[in-house]
Chain A
């Protein structure tokens, strides 16, 4: 498996490079002098000229790309115009929030989505199946920010059970109980994604249930729930596992809206604010990191695939 992972990582490199070129070009696609853009509106012409020379903006694009790439590989993603700090540390500040949010959301998705999906499939054809299927589709149609606003209104404003904004770090006072700040946001983010998982699990299980080996399992006199879990669900997991990986990746971008609604100091909100503030180095840095993350997730999904389906050979 290690050899396979390394091989796959190697094939990722061309795609990573191509994506990095796109990210690099991003700043240069913006109309205007890149150095002026990077320094922001308050820069003087001398500062602009100086940065231009430093960054090599007067040299060819290829050279600039190489310089940039070299910096990136050493961990230097540039400097934020707004914060006047290295981009990497700015992003790092938001990482804790975003990672915790994504993890909590995945937990909700698994504990809500999987059981309902399995239930829906096993009760196929009954009113329960109709209800959960339509309900899932409805839940997937709700805009996350709208759901978030209403959860805030009900649970924060009227009931006062949960806080409506912000997130103190776990290392601040309150410790783990600070996670309650992430409860509503993670539920908001989980709802539409759990719905998609429900539908996917249901569809996959119904497909598998028609296969011959399920009939064999029944012919062995196994209890129906054992057949449903060990023979139907386990086989359906093959298709579902890939979706989990991509859901996690999608969470990264969807978190943007949720973090804005709940004013969470995460990377998503950072991106939006940076866009509004025209803080291009930060935008560039975040995108780059997210792209890399996406590809790593792809790789993990492939590995999981091989683990779940013995027929897939790691060649």
Chain B
């Protein structure tokens, strides 16, 4: 398990996406009937994600992150946005982790979580109400 002080893995490009599963109990309805993740999705001190460049190397589409997790949705955040808030990104691919697994390290404040909420992009969104 990487430590909180582990250095940012600069082999991961700033434009790379981080994929994160979102369970139904971490969705919030919006006025237009759509949903967004709650900020709580982005608050883990060791936030597990799948790393886009590793998935590409492995010939896997982003949606493969949801394999084995029916009923979950998939969102993405950009590596550069994460780094701009001071949080390092590291690979953590050792079994039993997913071979594309990574972590966004550090204690997350509400400002970080809500910044991710603002810039996140659904890959597999929940259906509108």
A joins B in a complex: no
Measured CB to CB, the residues of A under 8 A from B are none
Measured CB to CB, the residues of B under 8 A from A are none
